[in-house]
Structure formats: C-alpha cells, structure tokens
C-alpha cells in the first residue's frame, strides 16, 4: 500500500502525488466509496494501490480541515484576493470570507489587486480601511502595483512546504495573480460582466500546482457565501482582534452586543477595532440567528 496526496480530480479519476517517490499516479476510488458516502477531494491524503496504468484509492486518511466551496482538503493557508475596483472593494464580503477561513482553521492572507485602476486619493482611503486588518494581525499585500516583482516574490516565499488555496470574489484577479507567479500555468482569465459587476467563473475545477516548494490551488471564485455552519457562540472567536480583548470583558462568553462592561465595544469606540469589522460582525450575527429560525 502506498500513500499520496490528490492534486487533481477530473471525471471520476484522481491524480495522486506519491509521498515517497513524487511520482504522479492516476487512480480511481474503490467501488464501495459511493455506497459509504465517501467522496475524495483535491488535497486529500490517501492510501492507494497501483497496478499497471491505473491505481485504486483504498482509504482516505483523516483530514485536518476541508472547504466545501471550493472542494479542497488539508489546507495550510488561504490567499484572499480582494480587488479595489471591478468588482468594488467590499469589507462585508472580505470579512465573510475571512470568518469562513478562520472557522476552518486555515491561516488567511489578504492580497489587494487593481489598486492601479483607482485614483491616489481612493487608494489612500482603501489603505486606511485596510489598516484595521493589520491591527487584527492579518498579513496584507497592498502595493498599488499589485503584480510588481518584489511583492509577488514575497508572496511566493509563503508557499514553501504548505498547501495554499487562492480564494476571493469572482473577477478579483486570482488567476491573473497566479499567472504572474508562474506564467506556465496559463490559467484562463475573463473580463468582468458589466451588468452584474461580477467576474465570469473562469476556473472550472480545483487543481494543485507545484510552486516554490509548495502546492498551490487555483479555485473557482464566488460572489456570495453563507455562514450556515457557524453558530453565534463561535462567531466572536473568528475575529482575532475580538479574541485579543474579550478576556477583559465583564462577562465570560460575552457576545459584544448589549452586555455591560464589554471591552470589545470599548475598543470599537476608541478606534482600536475597526467600526466596519464590528458592524459586519453584528450583520453576520443577525444572519446566523435568521438561519436558526428558518431551520
């Protein structure tokens, strides 16, 4: 029995990168996987047997984490690509993506694109808006020239020995960024739909590529996502800057809404925690409560 990582999935076949030999082996899943409700996804570590031209996946090894959208497992970090314009920067969508990533125990990194398409004043306002994310200890790539060599090299240095997923709103520039990192990938890009202000989904499947000593996924973008797996008790813990101050709240398990002696609300009033982050938190809390009523 051999072990490896699924790096590509297409039409019921799985390309597995062998852990010892670095050989790429095309496999299929065992026939009883479907009956048992098991579906291998890209990033899964598997035990497999290889015979002739085709191997068979015998067992899925335990996952450290996984995403449903895009379907990928065992991710170390997520590069959240967010654009300054076309589609317009949205703190609500960025925070929703960050919350989902934190919920899955994945390290988020924020990468701003299309800063060169807005005026200097607009860019400086955006940098000011992003400063609160620095306060929350997020690593941010925010140069006005998004794809300059120095910044792209700095990003590449994060890939070594990690599985990295690129995610963010459709049309934000994920595939363009990956093509700057490795032009040989030639990942398809498409223009923004003017009527919808959304990108067309140019990435049809999830694949892992070997780049800079790590594995990197290009994944389909999205224009909305839900918080259906997150409960209201967990939500405050998915905002790192809230966690930093919540120990000083008067009540344990403080939801940072109406409770007296709330240190988080105090930090919002003082400007230490971004008002937009707190407003988005309240919005998400309301969204989660509405799910619970609905279901």
82 labelled binding-site residue: no
168 labelled binding-site residue: yes
176 labelled binding-site residue: yes
262 labelled binding-site residue: yes
263 labelled binding-site residue: no
43 labelled binding-site residue: no
C-alpha angle with apex 217: 183 to 12, nearest 5 degrees?
Answer: 115
Task: Report the C-alpha gap between 110 and 142 in whole angstroms.
Answer: 8
Nearest 10 degrees: CA dihedral of 118, 223, 162, 66?
A: 160
254 labelled binding-site residue: yes
188 labelled binding-site residue: no
Measured in residues, the chain has a length of 295
193 bridge partner residues: 198
Nearest 10 degrees: CA dihedral of 131, 134, 140, 143?
A: 30
116 labelled binding-site residue: yes
- Cβ–Cβ under 8 Å, residues 83 and 171: yes
290 labelled binding-site residue: no
199 labelled binding-site residue: no
114 labelled binding-site residue: yes
174 labelled binding-site residue: yes
27 labelled binding-site residue: no
- Cβ–Cβ under 8 Å, residues 40 and 57: yes
- Cβ–Cβ under 8 Å, residues 115 and 142: yes
221 labelled binding-site residue: no
115 labelled binding-site residue: yes
Positions at the binding site for GTP: 113-116, 168-176
Positions at the binding site for Zn(2+): 249, 254, 256, 262
Positions at the binding site: 113-116, 168-176, 249, 254, 256, 262
């Amino acid at each position: 029995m051999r072990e490896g990582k699924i790096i590509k999935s297409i039409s019921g076949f799985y390309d597995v990168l062998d852990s010892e030999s670095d050989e790429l082996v095309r496999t299929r899943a065992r026939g009883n996987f479907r009956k048992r409700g098991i579906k291998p996804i890209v990033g899964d570590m598997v035990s497999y047997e290889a015979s002739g031209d085709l191997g068979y996946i015998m067992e899925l090894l335990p996952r450290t984490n996984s995403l449903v959208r895009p379907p990928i497992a065992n991710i170390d970090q997520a590069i959240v690509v967010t654009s300054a314009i076309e589609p317009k920067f949205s703190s609500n969508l960025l925070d929703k993506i960050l919350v989902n990533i934190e919920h899955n125990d994945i390290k988020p990194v924020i990468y701003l694109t299309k800063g060169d398409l807005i005026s200097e004043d607009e860019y400086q306002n955006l940098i000011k808006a992003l400063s609160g994310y620095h306060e929350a200890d997020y690593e941010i790539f925010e140069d006005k020239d998004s794809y300059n060599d120095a910044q792209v090299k700095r990003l590449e240095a994060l890939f070594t020995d990690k599985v990295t997923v690129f995610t963010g709103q459709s049309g934000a520039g994920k595939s363009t960024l990956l093509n700057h990192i490795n032009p040989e990938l030639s990942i398809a890009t498409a223009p923004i739909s003017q009527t919808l202000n959304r990108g067309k989904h140019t990435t049809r499947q999830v694949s892992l590529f070997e780049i800079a000593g790590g594995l990197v996924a290009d994944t389909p973008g999205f224009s909305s996502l839900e918080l259906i797996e997150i409960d209201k008790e967990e939500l405050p813990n998915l905002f790192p800057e809230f966690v930093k101050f919540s120990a000083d709240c008067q009540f344990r398990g403080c939801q940072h809404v109406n409770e007296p002696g709330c240190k988080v609300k105090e930090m919002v009033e003082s400007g230490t925690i971004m008002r937009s982050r707190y407003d988005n938190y309240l919005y998400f809390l309301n969204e989660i409560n509405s799910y619970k009523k609905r279901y």
